[in-house]
A and B are shown apart, each in its own frame.
Chain A
């Protein structure tokens, strides 16, 4: 410091203004050094890309054969082993397993990502308001969270499905309603310790509104734990969806998800193991990648607490 001497000779706005490194960028640079996490990130990106782009292959002549209609049956070509036509073989109705896995993956990932997005948004905002407000507002908001926590999840889902029928959006509602609660608690704790920091008091004494303080000064500082928890929520939401689908409460035919595919495969495990093995491989690979990515992100955002 104390570089006072040379400053007066400088132009008011310097021509070359150097770029700073934000904490988020720092974390990204650190993550890039973590090989396992980066491999997981790319594998997950590849699976996600395949699942979201794959269903549009039917409009492209050359690719149509790779991913045929997942519900088209070819009774003459049942239970085939992997070959040039059926990349991962065909099931007992002659449907293409690869195509079914890709289409099922789209539903699974969509449930996973959307439900997580919804629950994260609600959880972060709710937790931030509760933590910042403190006092009675906080007490009331947290008691509501406690009540939601104590609801038996399965019974709630069964009641919802019997009331509204089996619909995909119900899944989002049910899963979202459960997952945001934990997020809210995490964010609330973060905010409570952040708001005692002096930069928040400085913001108050500069006359910023509460909304500005919460959204601009507090929430961005919870990004580390939120991102980490998000990468751990996506797999747990996908697992929940799989469990519900396995129980017949989730995705209904003709739609399929990895959960329903695994259920179908489990029913025919002995005669047709490919039906179970391939969806399970994709599902596990996704969960594995997300969990390791979450672990890597935790280290990247909080380098001090890692390993050593």
Chain B
């Protein structure tokens, strides 16, 4: 057992947590033990529902109780006081003093983790003053500005007078991090702090986290992404079904994973070096299915009582491309680059400002409802969020057959056969057809969304970040499904994603978008192996690559005085290095 004077900061001993649902008890964490050393980054990796968040939040008792409850275990924190404290037993008043001051939390969702009604600076100052009542508001604001500066927010004195909605996602996340750091805690719990962010922003956050580590702060980093673990963590715990299935030093574990589950997780990480799923299609000499010319979609900025237009946001500003039959075209870019708007405009969900999109020799942009109707069936969309893209009040049977009935392609008698057929087509049990969407997992829902889109037998499908919200292992399966259906029905996809490594897996050609303009396009392999535009290069270098030594280099530099890190473990994982 570690001696308390050593560099152990936190010890979790056989922690068990149970959630009481309507009918039954669900174990969320089962007999989990681990320690966190001073100045180390501990990665906690697992899929949604594996209990990783509950484990980490138990440290500060931050999850709803009831329905959750602690069954057993202790969490010993070697904080400022002489004796280690059991965080599960101490009274709430005492815990409050520790929360924020000695242990702080960075939440996943930067959009909701800041109070929308208070200025950013005031929120940071509040955190300071609650724990140090003697500090004046002015001093607290000075400290806030200093920390906003440290996390890389330009012109902090001015920016901290802004409200959260005036910050971009990345800036909000940095403000959140500043808030977590401002009291210089000893332990930071980071719950997927970069999952909602673009890869380039993710890199900035990583830099910050490594800087914190240099200042001898310990970090528990929760993620589902093995690539992130590789870039950041010293040690890693792999969780599955409420248990820790494997643990170890990152380099050892990546080099020689023991458990089948760990191997599966590692294999599922999309890599730029992955071979494509299915065969690449490069149609030549054919007429394109859809010809997009000089597409512009501007959104009016309105103000006043009668909402007159005062300006425009140029989401898409002159984009041209063709899509051929059987082809998958990728659209890559950061959020705000206009990639989603292109897909939506083609489907008539947004109005275009200029340009044309020829489909069967007809411009399909801004068609009136009646004329658009035949194209509605030919073009479908698969959305990002499997939780909001199914109507919660309808059964799967209704969801799958409504489109066919509406287009008169099906009579009422054959509904069940058709629904069963499509459920089988997406590898779900036809028994499920009378269930409601909330009775399915995220991956199953996404399959239902795929089935709904395919049921009307389209020729062209827009996949808008269709796998981004899913766990990596499920991501891979949904991609396989998409490719399988494409080859079976001869479809064309417009595959929109911020994740180049996913695009690499599925797309034949790729367009890189930046501020509503295409900056680079070409065959996927060519673009990835030999990017021309600096923005493409930046996107590619930001993709986490498990096993790439160079990605861990800065970690080694940054960890000069950290404990727990061993370098020189030569056994690199099987994944080949990416082309440089």
B431 touches A220 (CB 8 A): no
Q: Is A208 located at the chain interface by the 8 A CB criterion?
A: yes
Minimum distance in angstroms from A32 CB to a CB of chain B: 11
Contact flags B318-348 to A (C-beta < 8 A → 1, else 0): 0000000000000000000000000010011
Neighbouring A residues of B394 by C-beta, 8 Å: 216-217
A197 contacts which chain B residues (CB < 8 A)? 388-389
- Pair B377/A207 contact, Cβ less than 8 Å: yes
Is there an interface contact between A198 and B384, defined as CB atoms closer than 8 Å? yes
Let me know if B439 and A199 touch, CB within 8 A.
Answer: no
B189 at the interface (CB under 8 A from A): no
- Whether B381 pairs with A207 at a CB distance below 8 angstroms is no
Across-interface contacts of A14 in B (CB, < 8 A): 420, 429-431
Let me know if B393 and A221 touch, CB within 8 A: yes
Question: Shortest CB–CB separation between residue B19 and chain A, in angstroms?
Answer: 13
A201 and B436 contacting across the interface, CB-CB below 8 Å:
no
A199 to chain B: which residues have CB within 8 Å?
388-391
Q: Would A220 and B427 count as touching, CB distance under 8 A? A: no
Which residues A46-77 have CB closer than 8 A to chain B?
Answer: none
Q: Are B427 and A23 in contact (CB under 8 A)?
A: no
- Those of B432-468 within 8 Å (CB) of chain A: 432-436, 438-439, 441, 443-444, 447, 449, 452-453, 456
Q: Which of A4-12, A158-166, A234-242, A266-274 contacts B (4 or more CB under 8 A)?
A: A4-12
A139 at interface, CB cutoff 8 A: yes
Bound form: Cα–Cα A8–B432 in Å: 15
Size class of the contact patch on chain A? 35 or more
CA distance A13 to B417 in the complex (A): 6
Using known A-B contacts A29-B22, A217-B391, determine if residue A205 contacts B349 with beta carbons closer than 8 Å: yes
Query: Across the interface, which residues of B come within 8 angstroms of A24, CB to CB?
Result: 393
Residue pair B434, A18 in contact (C-beta under 8 Å): yes
CA distance A178 to B291 in the complex (A): 54
**With A199-B391, A204-B349 in contact, is A12–B420 under 8 Å at CB?**
yes
- Evaluate contact between B385 and A198: CB separation under 8 angstroms: yes
Complex partner residue of A207 from B376, B390, B395, B436, CB under 8 angstroms = B376
* In the complex, chain B residues whose CB is within 8 Å of the CB of A198: 383-385, 388-389
Partner of A10, one of B430, B439, B474: B430
| Assembly CA distance A4 to B162 (angstroms) | 52
Alpha-carbon separation in the docked complex, A273 to B262 (Å) = 79
Scan A204-230; emit 1 where CB is below 8 A from any B CB, else 0: 111111001000110011010000000
Complex Cα spacing A221 to B391, Å = 8
Q: How far is it, in angstroms, between the C-alpha of A22 and the C-alpha of B395 when the chains are bound?
A: 8
In the assembled complex, how far is the CB of residue B445 from the closest CB belonging to chain A, in whole angstroms? Answer: 10
A83: interface (CB < 8 Å): no
Shortest CB-to-CB span from B438 to chain A, Å, is: 7
Q: Is A253 in the interface zone, CB < 8 Å from B?
A: no
**A20 with B395: CB separation less than 8 A:** yes
C-alpha spacing A209/B406, complex, angstroms: 9
CB atoms of A201 and B381 under 8 A apart: yes
Say whether A2 contacts B427, CB under 8 Å.
yes
A12 and B452 form a contact (CB under 8 A): no
Shortest CB distance A115–B (Å) = 27
User: Does A16 reach chain B (CB closer than 8 Å)?
Assistant: yes
B306 contacts which chain A residues (CB < 8 A)? 136, 139
Minimum CB–CB distance from A18 to chain B (whole Å) comes to 6
List residues of chain B with CB within 8 A of the CB of A308: 64, 66
CB distance from B126 to the nearest CB of A (A): 24
Q: Which of A3, A12, A205, A209 contacts B417 (CB 8 A)?
A: A12
Out of B66, B429, B438, name the residue touching A3 (CB < 8 Å): B429
Report how far A308 CA is from B66 CA in the complex, Å: 8
Chain B residues closer than 8 Å to A7, beta-carbon distance:
424, 427-430
**Which of A2, A3, A16, A30 is within 8 Å of B22, CB to CB?**
A30
A151 close to B (CB within 8 Å): no
Residue contact A2 to B477, C-beta cutoff 8 Å: yes
- Complex contact B307–A20 (CB within 8 A): no
Query: Is the CB–CB distance between B436 and A20 below 8 Å?
Result: yes
Does chain B have a CB within 8 A of A21? yes
B307: A residues at CB distance < 8 A: 135-136, 139
List, in ascending order, chain A residues with CB within 8 A of B392's CB. Answer: 23, 221
- Contact residues, B281-312 vs A (CB, 8 A): 305-307
Contact A208 B406 (CB under 8 A): yes
Residue of B nearest to A25 (CB): B436
**Given A3-B427, A198-B385, A204-B349, residue A17 in contact with residue B434 (CB < 8 A):** yes
- Of the candidates B64, B390, B393, the one whose C-beta lies within 8 Å of that of A22 is B393
* Interface residues in A108-148 (C-beta closer than 8 Å to B): 135-136, 139
B402 CB-CB contact with A under 8 Å: yes
**A205:B379 contact, CB within 8 angstroms:** yes
Would you call A13 and B434 a contact (CB within 8 A)? no
Decide if A84 is an interface residue (CB 8 Å cutoff): no
Chain A CB within 8 A of B129 CB = no
Given contacts A29-B22, A207-B377, 20 further A-B contacts (CB under 8 A): A7-B424, A7-B427, A7-B428, A7-B429, A12-B430, A17-B433, A18-B432, A18-B434, A18-B435, A20-B435, A23-B393, A135-B307, A198-B383, A199-B388, A199-B389, A202-B389, A206-B376, A206-B377, A208-B402, A223-B393
What are 15 residue pairs bridging A and B, where the CB atoms are less than 8 Å apart in the complex?
A3-B427, A4-B427, A12-B421, A13-B420, A20-B432, A20-B435, A22-B395, A23-B438, A139-B306, A201-B389, A204-B348, A206-B406, A208-B406, A209-B369, A221-B392
- In the A-B complex, the 10 residue pairs with the smallest Cβ-Cβ separation, listed nearest first, are A207-B376, A20-B435, A198-B389, A198-B383, A4-B427, A206-B403, A197-B388, A220-B393, A199-B391, A20-B436
